[in-house]
Amino acid sequence: MKPLASDRAFLLLLAAVLAVALLLIISIATPFGLSAYLSNAIGQLAAFAVLALSLDLIWGYLGILSLGHGLFFGIGGYVVAMHLLKHSYEVTGRVPDFMQFMGWSEFPFYWAGFGFFPYALLMMVAVVLLISGVFGYVSFRSRVGGVYFAIITQALVYVAMLLMFRNDSGFGGNNGMTGFAVVFGWPIGLNGVVIAMAAGSVLVLGMTLLGCRMLLGSRFGILMIAARDDEVRLRTLGYETLRLKLVVWCLSALIAALAGMLYVPQVGIINPRLLAPELSLEIAVWVAIGGRGHLIGAVIGAVLVNAVKFWLSTAAPELWPFILSGLIVLVVLVFPNGLIDLAKLKLARPMGVQRLSSETPELR
Amino acid sequence: MSGVALLIDSVTVEFGSFRAIDMLSLAIDFGEVRAVIGPNGAGKTTLLDVISGITRPKQGRVIFDEATDITRASESAIARAGVRRKFQKPSIFEGLSVQQHIAIGAQGALRRSLSEDALINRVDEMLEAVGLADLAQRSASELAHGQKQWLEIGMVLASNPKLLMLDEPVAGLTEEETERTVALVRNLKRSDRAIVVVEHDMDFVERIADRVTVLHEGRTLFEGSMANARADERVIDVYLGR
C-alpha cells in the first residue's frame, strides 16, 4: 500500500466526502444548499458506505467473506432505536406503539438506562463484541473459513431475524420500532435536524475511511494482507493468525453496527426485515461491484448501487432486480475486481497494445 | 553447539487408511545438512508437515533441540521456537512488497522482537544475501519464479532459524540459480543450525548434504552418505534406478 501522502485516489475521495459534509453543514444553517429530502438520501448513502467499508475490511483485506454483516448493522440499528424511543418517551411522555400493541404500560427491565445515549452506545459495543467475539473465536479456532464461514454467518443473521419477529421479546416484534420523536432533545422531523444527521453520517464516513486507511497502512495492515494471501505461510513464520483475524473481525462488526446507528434514525424505522439475508448478501454485492480490497471501491459500490436503487424505487421499482443481477453478471464476467478495473483499463490499454505489437514474438 | 536438533520418535501419520509415515524415527544434529530423498509419495513433504505442525501424527513424538516437545504445538509456536520452512510451491504474499516479506520474516511474531533500527539492518542484510536488494520495493507478484523461491528463502532466513527446512529449493530454477542456491545453503551451515533439504535433484543433494535419508513408503530405507546411497541396491531399486 502506498504511503498516505502519495495515495492520490484515496485523498481525492476523502476530500470529496469532506466537501459533501461541509455542504451539508452549510445547508443546516442557511436557507441555501441542499433540501432536507436530498440530505436525507445522502445521509443514508453514507451509512451504507460505512457498512460496505466494514465488510471490505474483513473480506477484501483479510479474505473472510461474511454474508451476515446485516446482523451487526441490525444490532446498531436496534440499539439506537431503543435509545430514541426511550429518549422520546422521557421527553414527550408518549408510550411507544409496540408497547401499546402488547398492552404494556412499562418498559421491559432491560430497557433501563437506554434513554442515556452513552449507556446505549456502551451496550451496543458490549453486545457486538460479545457476539462477534464468541462467534469469531469459535469459528477461527476450529479453522472454519471460506464458503463454510459465509454460510454460517448467513444462518446467524437469519436466526436473529426469526428471534426479532417474536412480539413478546420487547424489541418491537414484527412491526419493529418507529415513531421516534426526539433526537438529542431536538424534534427529529425538523429540516435542520434531518440535515444535521446526514452531515454527521458523512463525517463518520470520512473518519471511518481515514481510520481504515491508517490501519491498513500500519504493520497490522501488512499482516492482514499477508494472512489473506497465504495464511499457512504466515502462521509458519510465527504469527498467531487467530488473534489477528479475531481483532479485525470484531472491529469490522463494530463498524457495521456504527453504520446501523447512523441509518435507523434517518429512515425513522427498524424492523426485522433489516436482518433478512437479502441485505447481508447485498452488502457483498456493493463491495464486489465497487472493487473488493479497495476502500474506494467499497464506498463507490455502496453509493452507486444504492443511489440507483433510490432512484428506481420511485421511477421503476420492478426493474431493480434485473439491474442488480445485470451488474453482478457484468462484474463477474468483465470486471473481476469491480469498477476499480475501469480506472485501470484506461491506464493499461495503450501500454498493453504497445507491448503486444513490439515484444510478442508471435505477432512479428 | 552440538547435539540433536530434531528427534523424530516412531512417528506414524495416516490419511484415512493410507499410511503416509510408518513408525519413522530420525535424528538430525546441529551443524548438519541433511537431505531427505525418495520417490513421490514416500512421505517427505508429510514429514515436514509434521515437524512444522501442519499435520498431526497419529502417534510418536517430535522433539526439538533435545528439550522441546513440539508434537502437539501450534504452527506459530513451533515457528517461534526457531523452526522455519520453505514450502515446495513458492509461498509468498502476492499483495506485499519484497521488503515487507523480509520484515515479516524477521519479526517472526505479532509482538515485535526487533527495534526499528535492528529491523532495517536485518532486512537490508537479508535482501543482500538473497540478491533481491534492487527489487526491495517491488511487489512480490511481479517477481519471476526463481526470485519468488529466493524471496521465500530470505523470508524464512530473516529470523535466524535453528532448524531450517527447504522443500525442493531448486525445483524449476535455472542452472545458474541452482549454483547460487548451492553457495547459499553452504553459507547457511552453522554449528548451531540444522538444515533439512527435500530435493529430487541428486547433483544438488550431493553437493550440499552431509548425510542423506532415503524414505520409501513412509519408512527409512537408507541413511548415510550420498555416495553410499548411490551404491545401495535397494535405493537404486525404488528410486535412483528409475
Contacts of B74 in chain A (CB under 8 A): 235, 240
- Residue B210, pLDDT above cutoff 80: yes
> By the CB < 8 Å criterion, does A241 face chain B?
yes
Nearest C-alpha in A relative to B102: A237
> By the CB < 8 Å criterion, does A349 face chain B?
no
From the list A225, A235, A238, the residue facing B159 with the nearest CB is A238
The predicted pLDDT at position B1 comes to 53
- Residue A357, pLDDT above cutoff 60: no
Residue A358 inside a domain? The answer is no
The predicted pLDDT at position A351 comes to 43
* pLDDT tens figures, A109-131: 999 999 999 999 999 999 999 99
Residue A162 inside a domain? The answer is yes
| Complex ipTM | 0.93
Residue A131 grid cell: 457476539
Nearest C-alpha in B relative to A141: B74
Parent domain of B43: 4-240
Residue A158 inside a domain? The answer is yes
Mean pLDDT of chain A: 90
- Residue A46, pLDDT above cutoff 90: yes
- Residue B134, pLDDT above cutoff 90: yes
Specify which residues B220 forms β-bridges with: B215
The lowest-confidence range among A63-72, A212-221, A311-320, B188-197 is A311-320
- Percentage above 70 pLDDT, chain A: 94
The predicted pLDDT at position A20 comes to 95
Residue A113 inside a domain? The answer is yes
Average pLDDT of span A231-249: 96
* pLDDT tens figures, B1-52: 568 999 999 999 999 999 999 999 999 999 999 999 999 889 999 999 999 9
Mean pLDDT of chain B: 92
Do A201 and A47 contact (CB within 8 A), yes or no?
A: yes
Contacts of B103 in chain A (CB under 8 A): 222
- Residue B240, pLDDT above cutoff 90: no
Average pLDDT of span B60-65: 94
Number of structural domains (chain A) is 1
The pTM for the full model equals 0.91
The predicted pLDDT at position A346 comes to 56
What is the distance in angstroms between the Cα of B229 and the nearest Cα belonging to chain A?
Answer: 32
Strand-pair category, B194-198 with B33-37: parallel
Residue A166 inside a domain? The answer is yes
Where residue A58 falls among pLDDT bands split at 50, 70, 90?
A: very high
* pLDDT tens figures, A268-295: 999 999 999 999 999 999 999 999 999 9
Please state, in angstroms and rounded to a whole number, the distance separating the CA atoms of residues A25 and B87.
56
- Residue B84, pLDDT above cutoff 60: yes
The predicted pLDDT at position A229 comes to 95
The predicted pLDDT at position A225 comes to 96
Cβ separation of B100 and A239 shorter than 8 Å?
A: no
> By the CB < 8 Å criterion, does A337 face chain B?
no
The predicted pLDDT at position A342 comes to 79
Number of structural domains (chain B) is 1
Residue A175 inside a domain? The answer is yes
- Residue A354, pLDDT above cutoff 60: no
Kindly report the CATH number assigned to the domain that includes residue B221. 3.40.50.300
Do A248 and A58 contact (CB within 8 A), yes or no?
A: yes
- Residue B56, pLDDT above cutoff 60: yes
Please state, in angstroms and rounded to a whole number, the distance separating the CA atoms of residues A233 and B96.
13
Contacts of A240 in chain B (CB under 8 A): 74, 76, 109-110
The predicted pLDDT at position A313 comes to 82
Parent domain of A267: 4-313
Cβ separation of A229 and B74 shorter than 8 Å?
A: no
Where residue B126 falls among pLDDT bands split at 50, 70, 90?
A: very high
Residue A64 grid cell: 473472510
- Residue A356, pLDDT above cutoff 70: no
The predicted pLDDT at position A347 comes to 53
Residue A149 inside a domain? The answer is yes
The predicted pLDDT at position A230 comes to 95
Please state, in angstroms and rounded to a whole number, the distance separating the CA atoms of residues B199 and B205.
7
CB pairs under 8 A between A and B: 75
